[in-house]
Each structure stands twice: as structure tokens, then as C-alpha cells.
Amino acid sequence: MFWDVARRVKDEDLFIKDRAIHFLNLLDNPSQLLSWDKVEDCINNTVFYEFEIIDGGEKAHISRQERAWVSNKEVQSSKEIAKYISDGKTFIITNYGYHSRETQELLKVFESEFDVDCAMHAYGGIKGSKSFNIHNDFPPVFIFQIDGETNWKVYKNRVSDLYLPSSYEQKTISDKDLELDIEVLLKPGDALYVPSRCYHCASPDGRRLSISIPCWTKTLNLNKSADRYYYHIQNLDTI
């Protein structure tokens, strides 16, 4: 289903040109992966999904409570999450990769074609919700725009491997301290590749949905893997 996505990525010579790349129309039907109806499903099923809320560039508090018949964890408040999002705060669904057969299939493509283990996070907001301040991510990341438009900046500067990934949080990173690599406006179906440790930031304008796929090298997840196979009930048609 998504093998053409991997083919277009592999057409870029990332062995010697590991740089930010803007892919136009990389997804033919982005809403099959994420939609506002799917977001509402996740909000109302926090037993299975985990949310983060960004408020002023920082993570906001979400209350947790015990739920009847849920014995292994406290569950986030669906009411608070819905209120945050309705008020214009940005949300992240951190374990969205397990949402559907389609999300699993896209991750399977990346894990089959590259030496990585992947996750998928759903991002979004309404009323011009804001994202993180300038930051970097240790794994390389693919950003897919699903709904609305988002302006992205990726800088040539990278945090050194001499530091832990969180070390940059001890510094105030300013746009004037960095050298711009690319600035692009992502539209539905477009994608952006952000190399490992490169500083970047998003400036959403109005309602938007996107997904990010962080790609961890397999050497960091030895003896761990995700089962992306889609299982069927055998002999169901004979019952």
C-alpha cells in the first residue's frame, strides 16, 4: 500500500547527502491514516491511547485516575484533553502507530526498507495552536501533513553526539544562532525529512493534523521489535 513512499525516499542518496528534504504529495490519501474523527476516537479511549498537550511551548498537566476494570494503570482524563484541544492547545498522541492496519502498514514499509524501528505520533490543533520551540530529535524523523498547512524550518546545525539528546534543553536556542537549511510550507500529502539531531521547528497556522515517524536505528533496540503483521482469524468462513 505504501511501498511507493519508501521508493521515493530511497531515491534520495542519504548515504552521503543526509539533509532535510521536502517531498511533495508523498501520500495519495492522507486521511486514511489520520482524521478528526480518529482523533475523537482516541480522546474517548484513553485506556488505549496516551496524549501530550503543548501549552506555550511546554507540556501541560493532564490528570489521571483509576478506571473500573483497568487494573494496570491510571488513565488520562478525556474531559481535560478535549477541553485543552477545544481551547486551541496542540495535542500529541504518542502511541498512534497501533491505531489501524494503515498506520501499521506504513511503519512496516519503513522498517522493511531501512535499518530502523519506528513509532508514529499524531499531532494537531485548532485555532492556530502552537508547537514546540526550536529543538532537535535524536532519531531522524519524517513529518507527514494530513490536514491544513504548517510552515517548517530545518536548520543546518546539529547537536553534537558528545551530549545527551536532552542537553539542549539546558540552553535557549534562538533562530539567530542557527543557519537555515530549508523553510517549507507543508500541505496535505506532503512530507518532510528531518535528519538526526538537526534543530527544527513548526509554526502551524489554523487547524492542522500531521503525523511524525521517528526512526530509531536497530542497534539501539537490540532484541526488540514490533509485530507489524496483520493477523486474520483462520477458517472463519467455514463457521
pLDDT at 222: 63
Which CA distances in Å does 223 have to 108, 114, 220? 17, 17, 9
The grid cell for 39 is 482523533
Confidence of residue 40 (pLDDT cuts 50, 70, 90): very high
**Section 33-48 average pLDDT:** 96
Three-state secondary structure readout of 114-133 = CCEEECCEEEEECCCCCCCC
Which CA distances in Å does 125 have to 30, 86, 93, 135, 144? 17, 8, 12, 19, 15
pLDDT at 234 over 90: no
**Section 173-196 average pLDDT:** 94
Q: Indicate the domain borders of the chain.
A: 3-60+76-217
For residues 129-160, b (16+ Cβ closer than 10 Å) or e, as one string? bbbbebebbbbbbbbbbbbbebebbbbebebe
**Section 132-142 average pLDDT:** 89
Q: Is the dihedral of CA 185, 199, 133, 176 positive or negative?
A: negative
Q: What is the DSSP letter of 135?
A: B
Lowest mean pLDDT among 10-19, 35-44, 166-175: 166-175
For strands 150-158 and 51-55, give the pairing: unpaired
User: Which H or E element spans position 92?
Assistant: strand 90-93
- Which are the contacts of 145, defined by CB distance < 8 A and separation ≥ 6? 30, 186, 187, 188, 189, 190, 191, 208, 209, 210
Q: What's the pLDDT tens digit per position in 51-94?
A: 999 887 778 999 999 988 888 889 999 999 999 999 999 999 99
pLDDT at 61: 93
Q: Which residues pair with 211 in a beta bridge?
A: 122, 144
C-alpha span between 199 and 154 (Å, rounded):
6
Confidence of residue 218 (pLDDT cuts 50, 70, 90): confident
The grid cell for 117 is 524501528
Which CATH architecture best describes the domain 3-60+76-217? Answer: Sandwich (2.60)
Question: If we measure between CA atoms, which residue out of 233, 59, 21, 16 comes closest to residue 141?
Answer: 21
pLDDT at 205 over 90: no
Lowest mean pLDDT among 77-86, 87-96, 166-175, 198-207: 166-175
pLDDT at 109: 94
Lowest mean pLDDT among 64-68, 196-200, 221-225: 221-225
Query: Is residue 169 within 8 Å of residue 131, measured between CB atoms?
Result: no
pLDDT at 171: 66
User: Which H or E element spans position 33?
Assistant: none
pLDDT greater at residue 67 or residue 145? 145
Could you tell me the pTM of the whole model?
0.90
Query: Is residue 218 within 8 Å of residue 117, measured between CB atoms?
Result: yes
pLDDT at 236: 64
Q: What's the pLDDT tens digit per position in 6-34?
A: 899 999 999 998 999 999 999 999 999 99
C-alpha span between 139 and 159 (Å, rounded):
12
